[in-house]
Chain A
């Protein structure tokens, strides 16, 4: 099974500052045949279901603010929130949907306001 390890487990960032979350995969999740990385990022606010932010590692879902950016390839990925807003307080998960199941999630990163 592919294991996703996120770092850090939690971080506190001042309003307007940058937040960076990393996700490392135990296996390559890049398909050279279609040039895609099979990785998504979700935001889960307290008491709510997850919300898709980024797919194919760097494609922002329609309606997601452009302060959210996904990057990386192969085994190392990053979600960056360029200017943290109060509504961004949440737990963020990476998710790999490469190849055969089981499809797996990272353990989550909790983002708080400093």
Chain B
């Protein structure tokens, strides 16, 4: 069965960096676009970043452009999110999510989500 397992969260001071990982199993990782979606405590969902199945395209929400970098290693079935110059407003649970449609990065619902990893930015 499809599994997405995030790791790498924790408590970090403002201005520091953190790298999240999402380990995927149970499906052919290399043919699906993948995304990071976050949820601040008690708040709604916010799409953060996405990457095409082959890594050729990457997109970000405006608030993280220039600070976060999404990447993937299809040989390791793993998605990453490098988060630099972290701010208090980046505090959230970060979920990785899989595109419903294969080979279709533009325009897909997300059919599987991980349990999330909590990132807390605080001094």
Contact = CB atoms under 8 A, between A and B. Distances in A.
B59 A102 contact: yes
Interface in B84-114: 95, 97, 100, 106-114
B11 interface: no
B50 A105 contact: no
Interface residues of B, number: 24
Interface string A67-106: 0000000000000000000000001010101111111111
Interface in A14-45: 38, 40, 42, 44
A49 B61 contact: no
B107 A105 contact: no
Given A49-B95, A55-B100, A108-B45, A102 B111 contact: no
**Chain A contact residues: helix, strand, loop or mixed:** loop
A51 B113 contact: yes
A57 to B, nearest CB: 10
Contacts of B116: 49
Nearest to A51: B113
Contacts of A52: 100, 109-112
A101 B110 contact: no
Contacts of A108: 44-45
B109 A102 contact: no
Q: How extensive is the interface on chain A, given as a class?
A: 20 to 34
B47 A105 contact: yes
Interface in B32-65: 37, 44-47, 50, 59-62
Given A49-B116, A52-B100, A93 B109 contact: no
B18 interface: no
A42 B108 CA distance: 13
Contact of A50 (B60, B107, B113): B113
A15 to B, nearest CB: 26
A97 B107 contact: yes
A38 B107 contact: yes
Contacts of B109: 40, 52, 55-56, 95, 97
A101 B107 contact: no
7 contacts: A48-B115, A50-B110, A52-B110, A93-B44, A97-B109, A103-B47, A105-B47
Given A50-B97, A52-B109, A99-B107, 5 more contacts: A42-B110, A50-B45, A50-B110, A56-B109, A101-B59
